[in-house]
Amino acid sequence: MTESTVQISTDEQARLDECAIEQIHLPGSIQPHGALIAVDASSFEIRQVSANSAAMLGVEPSELLGRSVQLLLGEQWLRNVLGREDDRLANPHLAEVGGNLFDVIVHRSASMIIVEFEAVSTTDAHLLPALNAALRRVSAMRTMETLRECAAREIRALVRFDRVVVYHFYPDGHGEVVAEDRVPELEPYLHQHFPASDIPVQARSLYLKKASQLIASSDYEPVPLIPAHNPATGEPLDLSRAELRSVSPHHLRYMRNMGTAATISLSLLQEGELIGMITCSAQEPRVVSYVHRQACEILAQQMTLQLGALAQRQHHERQIEYQLVRSELVQQMLGNGDIPSGLCSGNVTLVDLVQADGAIARIGGRMMSVGVTLSAAQALELARWVVNADEPVHICSDALGSERADLAELVPSAAGMVLWQCGPRGDFLAWFRGEVLQTIDWIGDQTLQNRDDPFSPRNSFAMWRQSVTGRSTPWLPDDIAQIGELIRDIDGVRAQQAATSDLNRGREVQRALHPKETAPSVGYDVAGACMPARTVGGDFYDWYSTEDGLAITLGDVMGKGVGAAMIAAAVRTLMRVDRNNRDPSIAVAHASSMLNADLAEVSSFATLFHALLTSATGEVSYIDAGHGLTIILRRDGSSVRLSGGDYPIGLALGGGFSRQFEVLDPGDMLVSFSDGVLDLYDDSLDAIEAIVALARQAPSPQSLVESVMNLAGALTMPDDVTVVAVRRNRG
C-alpha cells in the first residue's frame, strides 16, 4: 500500500476548519439508550443528571441532584467502586437500580466521577468462547491484507452488523477502506477513499482517548444534562471518555445520508498515533452491550499489534536490502576512487537504492547521471540553482508543478524530485520520477454538487472516480531516511579517501626521512629500517657524515598521520642544520627551541636519541631526550644500556640537554630502537634482552635490522617499529 497524498481542495480545507470549531466533547447531552450522573469526587454528591433518569432509573432528576450517590447505589457500592483510584479497571460493574439490572461504567473527568448506566444484555453469556476463537483466527494471519480481512470478518460475526470496514489513514489525513466484510446486498467500499473532513481533527482526538464509540441510532433525540453546567464550576461536563456521549448533528446527518442507522467505531492505535479505524454499521438501530464493545476493542487491539509486528518485519527486510545496496555503492565509490562514478555507473546505482526513473550525483564539482534524467543544460542549470541557494537545499515533492513551480521549470521532464544537498556547497544528490496518471475512487462525489451547502455532509455515497495528473509516485519515508544514510556513507568515503591521501603523503614524508647514504664512514657498518603500522606514525631515523665521523639520530613523535610525520621531518631537518657542530646538545636544543610551541599546540612531544661518532677513536657523544632505548653490545658479549636524564622535545621548556659519552671499540655495536619494538614482547626488559640476544647472533647491523623487521612483519603492530644499528669493524 503506497502512502499516497491527495490535493486538498479549498472547499475541503474550509470544511476542516469549520469542523475544528465544534466542541464535540462538550455536547451537554447523551444518547437515550442509557442514563448518566455526574458525581463530585470529594463529596460524592450528584451535581448533574441526565433528563431521562426517571424513565431509566426510576428516580426524577430533582430527587437526585444535591444528594449523595449512596441514595441510588448504596453505601457498599459507593465504597467499593467510587473509592477506587483507577476506576476503569473493573468496568462494567453490575448494579440493580429501580428493580432493573444495569452495566454501570465509571470514569473520572477532572473533579467529577461520571457514572453511566446501560441495560444488561442477555447475549453476553457465550461471548468469551467466541472471542477466544476469533483471537486465535486473527493471530494466525501472516500478511497485512489477510489480517485486516480476518479482523473485519470476526468483528462482524461478534456484533452482527451489516458492514464492517477497516480504514487506513494517510499522512495528509484522508483515508482508504483497506478491508471490508458486508452483507451481499450492500455496495462495496473496498479500496475507496474518503476525505479527512469525514473524521475531523477533534473527532480523531477523541478516538485517541477512547477505544470505541457506539451510536445506537442516527435518529435519536439527545437527552440533555440537568443542569447544563456543573454548578460548582460553571463549566460544561467533559464527556470525552463517556460511553453515552451525544454526537454532532452533522455526523448524524452524515449517517442518515449514508443509509446507516447505527455504528460502532474502534480506534487503531500504534505508539500513541491513530493509524486507522474499524467501523461497524447497521441499517437498523442497534444497541450493543458494553461487554461486546470491549470484545471488539480487544480484537482491534490484537490486529493493531500484529500490524505493527508485520510492519516491523517488512521494515527490517527493507533495511537489509537497503544496506546491501549501500554497501555495494560504498565499495564502488572506494574502488573507483571517484564518488559520482561509483554512484552512477556500477553494478548498482542510485536508482537501486531509491526507486526512480533517473538520478544525478554532483560531488566535488563533478556530475554524473543514471537513467532518464535531464539534459546536460538542465542539469547544469539545476546545479547553479543549488550553488546559489541561500541555505542548504532539501526538497522532496511528488508534485513539482503545483508545489515548486520554480523547480518544475528547471526539470520539466520530472513530476517528482528528491534533492538533498550534501557536503560542500553545490554538492547534491537528486532523484527524478516522471508523471504517473492516478485514479482515486472516492466514497461519494467530492464536489459541491453533492452537498446542500459547503459544510453539509455528502448526499450520495456512490463511488466517484477522480483522475489526478501532474504527480509522480510518492516518496516513502524510508526513501528519505536512506538518502540521509547514503550521505553519511559518502562522508565516510570522503574521509577515507582523505585519510588514504593523508596516509600516502605521510608515508612519502616518512620515506623521505630515511637516510640516502649507504656507507657514511670508513670502518663502520650502518643499517636501519622503519616499518609503519597501519597508519603513518612519527618514527624516523637518520645518519649522515660529519667532518670527523658520523651522526646517528632516531626519534619518535607522539601521534599519527601527516601531522606527526611533518613534525618528525622538522626535527630531522633542524638536526641536520647543525651537522658539523661537535656538541650534539646544541642541535637538540636548537630543534627543541624551534618546535616547542608547535608541539605544545597539538599536545605532542618527541623522544630523541642523537649521537656524534668520531671515526678515529670510536668516541660517542650523545643526547638521550626521553628515549632510553639504546644499547651498546660489546665485543665480548656484554651490553650496556645508554640513558640520560633529559626530557623529550616539547616537554623540556627552557631546559638544556646534557651530553653523555661512550666509546665504541672495534667489534662493538650500537643499537637504538623505537618503543614499537616493545610491543613485540611482554615487557620492556624482555624487549631489551631480546634485542641484545638478536645482536649477539647477528653477523652484521643489516642482519640485526632484518631480524627485527621480520619479527614485526609477522604481527599486527599498533605502532611503528624502527631500529638503527652501527658497528665498528674489527682492526
Per-residue HEC secondary structure of 581-636 comes to CCCHHHHHHHHHHHHHHHHHHCCCCEEEEEEEEECCCCEEEEEEEECCCEEEECCC
Q: To the nearest 10°, report the CA torsion of 604, 609, 610, 614.
A: 180
Cα distances from 654 to residues 149, 193, 541, 649, in angstroms, run 85, 82, 25, 11
Residues 6+ apart with CB under 8 A from 128: none
* Shared domain check, 173 and 285: yes
* Shared domain check, 383 and 280: no
Q: Does 236 reside within a domain?
A: no
Q: Are 524 and 548 in contact (CB under 8 A)?
A: no
Domain count of the chain?
A: 4
Closest Cα partner for 471 from 395, 399, 373? 399
Residue ranges of the chain whose pLDDT lies below 70: 1-21, 83-89, 452, 454-455, 499-514, 516-520, 533-537, 559-565, 577-580, 652-655, 682-685, 716-717, 731
The boundaries of the domain holding residue 644 are 513-728
Closest Cα partner for 43 from 78, 1, 8? 78
Return the C-alpha cell found at 291.
461487554
Q: Does 636 reside within a domain?
A: yes
Q: Are 416 and 433 in contact (CB under 8 A)?
A: yes
Q: Does 264 reside within a domain?
A: yes
Number of other CB atoms surrounding residue 511 within 10 Å: 12
Number of other CB atoms surrounding residue 426 within 10 Å: 18
Q: How far apart are CA 167 and CA 428, in angstroms?
A: 39
Residues listed for the chain: 731
Residue that the C-alpha cell 637516510 belongs to: 515
Return the C-alpha cell found at 679.
610491543
Per-residue HEC secondary structure of 99-158 comes to CEEEEEEEEEECCEEEEEEEECCCCCCCHHHHHHHHHHHHHCCCCHHHHHHHHHHHHHHH
Q: What is the pLDDT of residue 225?
A: 98
Q: Does 2 reside within a domain?
A: no
Q: Which of 310, 328, 346 is the last residue of a domain?
A: 310
CATH code (residue 51):
3.30.450.20
Q: Does 429 reside within a domain?
A: yes
* Shared domain check, 343 and 391: yes
Closest Cα partner for 579 from 530, 619, 543? 543
CATH code (residue 426):
3.30.450.270
State the amino acid at position 47 in one-letter form.
R
* Shared domain check, 492 and 542: no
* Shared domain check, 145 and 85: no
* Shared domain check, 286 and 195: yes
* Residues 414-440 pLDDT 10s: 999 999 998 777 899 999 999 998 888
* Shared domain check, 348 and 210: no
Q: What is the pLDDT of residue 516?
A: 62
* Shared domain check, 251 and 157: yes
Q: What is the pLDDT of residue 336?
A: 80
CATH code (residue 274):
3.30.450.40
Q: Are 516 and 487 in contact (CB under 8 A)?
A: no
Residue that the C-alpha cell 472547499 belongs to: 11
Q: What is the pLDDT of residue 649?
A: 82
Q: Are 458 and 445 in contact (CB under 8 A)?
A: yes
Q: Are 568 and 595 in contact (CB under 8 A)?
A: no
Half-sphere exposure of 124 (CA within 13 A, CB side): 16
Q: Does 504 reside within a domain?
A: no
Q: How far apart are CA 504 and CA 490, in angstroms?
A: 21
Euclidean distance between the first and the last CA atom of the chain, given in angstroms as a whole number = 92
Q: What is the pLDDT of residue 5?
A: 56
Q: Does 471 reside within a domain?
A: no
State the amino acid at position 247 in one-letter form.
V
Q: How far apart are CA 493 and CA 500, in angstroms?
A: 10
Q: What is the pLDDT of residue 277?
A: 97
Largest CA distance in the chain: 131
* Shared domain check, 188 and 88: no
3-state secondary structure of 700: coil
CATH code (residue 705):
3.60.40.10
Q: How far apart are CA 198 and CA 458, in angstroms?
A: 10
Q: Which of 101, 119, 137 is the last residue of a domain?
A: 119
Q: Are 262 and 161 in contact (CB under 8 A)?
A: yes
Q: What is the pLDDT of residue 15?
A: 56
Per-residue HEC secondary structure of 227-238 comes to CCECCCCCCECC
Alpha helices (H) along 231-338: 249-258, 290-336
> Taking CA 375 as the corner, what is the angle to CA 369 and CA 378, rounded to the nearest 5 degrees?
100
* Shared domain check, 255 and 398: no
Q: How far apart are CA 491 and CA 421, in angstroms?
A: 12
3-state secondary structure of 199: coil
Return the C-alpha cell found at 216.
445506537
Closest Cα partner for 417 from 380, 385, 373, 375? 373
Residue that the C-alpha cell 611533518 belongs to: 566
Q: Which of 119, 137, 163 is the last residue of a domain?
A: 119
Number of other CB atoms surrounding residue 359 within 10 Å: 24
Q: Are 270 and 307 in contact (CB under 8 A)?
A: yes
* Shared domain check, 252 and 142: yes
* Shared domain check, 129 and 92: no
What is the pTM (predicted TM-score) of this model? 0.68
Q: Does 241 reside within a domain?
A: no
